[in-house]
Structure 1
């Protein structure tokens, strides 16, 4: 079985879908690994490091030729996959709900597209979960980005010239990214608070030494979404949360928003009116900016200023830590393939629970239930 690793071509994408570590492990399973020249350059991995594992290197055409599995960080353009085996698997983050035309093109080409971001959040799939591994780094980087834009120190400092108060950081959305943001801000010495629509996160917030900020005694809370994700909330809850956040956000120096709902636009958490209550020089980091944004006025790929508040909207935050992000992403892909590797068949053989959850196309058709409904 030939596994191809392509150089990423999306603007600003520096990650790579396999590292020398995972290439060596894939070869040990019995596969051959072909890596496109320069694939690891953005993640500080030299071609020679891949060659040392036994992988072959070549241009795009030679890398794809006869490939049974193509690994990517973002989905490759279907036209670039000419020469791959019939029914070859595309294993990557495919963004199927926002990029349906590419999914249709994979189906038309007879390719089997496997969207790794749809991996079910079950115990045995944790090591395959690209969203968790990459969100962990995003939460960390969000705090560093905030610190870079913030014109003051994070920790309290007592000096002979007087005392500097600790920065106040408010994290909105306590998933993987939010929890890492809380932990990182605490390590830097900030005074941290956090909120989420899921009541189960209260203990997680407190365990990291932060203050939970929650709406109390409001009927109609529906925040506990399927698979551990946040879901929709009732209008009553949204009104109560807006009132609570308005009073709290005015006292904060830094706000980090991380709220996402799979397959839908990001929920609006911070309005322009709320931004106007913050002190000049405050910073807001919107990690959901590419899905529509949690913050009114956030612009994808830019740092903008409104009411004296700097709003950070960097795209593809994990790629800004490309070496570590690639190492984790590549391990997720290896763990996925290795978990289902059948030695007799010489290839992975999926079960229905995971295979059906991530499979978008098969035998020339789009097969994922959520795509068939759209």
Structure 2
């Protein structure tokens, strides 16, 4: 069983799908590991470190040749992995909806494509959940990015020259990224408030010492949406939320938006008119910018200024912490494959529940129900 670790080809991607730690663990299971030259360079992992861990380090052709499992952070170009074993697994974040043509190409080439972002949010799969591990870091980094753009201090400071007021930070969307953003902003001394369409998050917000901002007297989502995500709300709720947010956002110094709906464009949370009510020098960080954006006027990969407000739209925020993001991502992949490792077969054998959830292609066909029809 040969496992290949690929160097990422996408611009701005600094992560790598394995670390020396996980290489050693794969070898302990009985696998051989090959790592493409320079795969870990942007995550502060040298080729020598991979070699010391027991991996064979070489160019892409040598790395891919005969590989049974191909590990990546983002899905590799199918044409670049043609030397892999027949039916090889491609295990990565595959963006099935945005990159449907690539999924079809995996099927045509006979690869079994496993989309790690489709991992079900169930208890036994928590250690395999790349979305949660990467969102955690993105929420943290979003606050630091906001602090870097904000021209004032976060905590209240009482000095002989006078008092500096604490920054007011508003988090919109209280999933994994939002919760980490709340915790980070609180640690930096800000006054933090947060909102979400899921009523169940109110207690989570309060447990972190932040103020919940929720629509009253209009029914929201009492529990979680599918897979732990929010779902689209009624027009009545959206109108009530927009009115509430408009009055609250005008008083905020920093707003961080994190709302995503899998397979659909990100919901619009902040309009141009609402931005205009914020005071000059305020900052908005749009963590959903690559999915269409929660904020009107946000631009993927850029920091723009609208009505005197700086709107931060960095791409691939987790990758801006590439060393830690790689360590967590690599552990997610190892936890996934090792959980299903069959010692007698010398390879992982997926069960029906998780296999059906993550498998996009098999036997030359696209098989995932969300991609059919």
Counterpart of 1:202 in structure 2 is: 202
1:176 and 1:221, CA in 2 relative to 1: closer, same or farther beyond 3 A?
Answer: closer
Name the structure 2 match of 1:55.
55
Cross-structure match for 2:177? 177
Whether 1:279 and 2:307 are equivalent positions in the alignment is no
Residue matched to 2:18: 18
Is the Cα contact below 8 Å between 1:223 and 1:233 reproduced in 2? no
Q: Deviations over 1:73-100 (max 9, x none)?
A: 0000000001100000000000000110
Structure 1 gaps of 5+ residues are none
Deviations 1:92-123 (A, max 9, x none): 00000011000000000000000000000000
When normalised by structure 1's length, the TM-score is 0.99
Mean CA deviation greater in 163-172 or 223-232: 223-232
1:78 is matched with 78
Give unmatched runs, 5+ long, in structure 2. Answer: none
Residues 257 and 287 of structure 1 are in contact (CA less than 8 Å); yes or no, is this contact kept in structure 2? yes
Q: CA deviation at 1:221?
A: 4.8
Are 2:159 and 1:159 aligned? yes
Shift of 1:222: 7.5
Give structure 1 regions of 4+ aligned residues with deviation exceeding 4 angstroms: 220-223
- Partners of 1:297 and 1:224 in 2: CA distance: 29
Aligned to 2:294: 294
Provide the secondary structure at the position in 1 that maps to 2:319: helix
Equivalent residue number for residue 105 of structure 1: 105
- Looking at structure 2, the residues matched to 220 and 313 of structure 1 have their Cα atoms a distance apart, in angstroms, of 28
- RMSD over equivalenced CA pairs, Å: 0.8
After superposition, the Cα gap between the structure-2 partners of 1:222 and 1:291, relative to the gap in structure 1 and judged at 3 Å, is farther
- Shift, 1:224, TM fit: 3.4
**Alpha-carbon distance change, 299 to 184 in structure 1, aligned in 2, over 3 angstroms:** same
Conserved in 2, the CA contact under 8 Å of 1:170 and 1:256? yes
Provide, for residues 332-370 of structure 1, a one-character-per-residue CA deviation record: whole Å limited to 9, x for no partner: 000000000000000001001100000000010000001
Give how far 1:219 is off.
3.7
**Residue 200 of structure 2 contacts residue 223 of structure 2 at CA under 8 Å; is this kept in 1?**
no
Distance 2:137 2:98 in 1: 23
Q: Provide the secondary structure at the position in 1 that maps to 2:71.
A: strand
Q: Which residue does 2:215 correspond to in 1?
A: 215
Q: Tell me how many residue pairs correspond in the alignment.
A: 373
Tell me the alpha carbon deviations over residues 289-340 of structure 1, each in whole angstroms, 9 at most, x when there is no partner.
Answer: 0000000000000000000000000000011000000000000000000000
Counterparts of 1:132 and 1:77, CA distance in 2? 25
CA deviation after TM superposition for structure 1 residue 220, in Å: 6.2
Task: Find the residue that maps to 2:140 and give its secondary structure.
Answer: helix
Give the Cα–Cα distance (whole angstroms) in 1 for the partners of residues 110 and 221 of structure 2: 44
Provide the residue aligned with 2:234 in structure 1: 234
Report SS of the residue matched to 1:151: coil
Deviation at residue 31 of structure 1 after TM alignment: 0.3
CA distance in 2, matches of 1:103, 1:245: 39
Normalization by structure 2: what TM-score? 0.99
CA-CA distance at 1:226 after TM superposition? 0.9
Distance 2:218 2:39 in 1: 52
C-alpha separation between the residues in 1 aligned to 2:338 and 2:99? 28
* Counterpart for residue 362 of structure 1: 362
Distance 2:89 2:220 in 1: 43
| Cα drift, residue 223 of structure 1 | 7.4
Q: Note the alpha carbon deviations across 1:176-224, whole angstroms, 9 max, x for none.
A: 0000000000000000000000001000000000000000111465773
Do 1:93 and 1:117's aligned partners in 2 also have CA atoms closer than 8 Å? yes
1:90 equivalent in structure 2 = 90
**Residue 137 of structure 1 corresponds to which residue in structure 2?**
137
Q: How do 1:11-50 and structure 2 match up within 5 A? A: 11-50=11-50
Deviation digits for residues 21-74 of structure 1 (CA, Å, limit 9, x no counterpart):
000000000000000111000100011101111111111000000000000000
Corresponding position of 2:147: 147
Change (3 A) 1:85 1:250: same
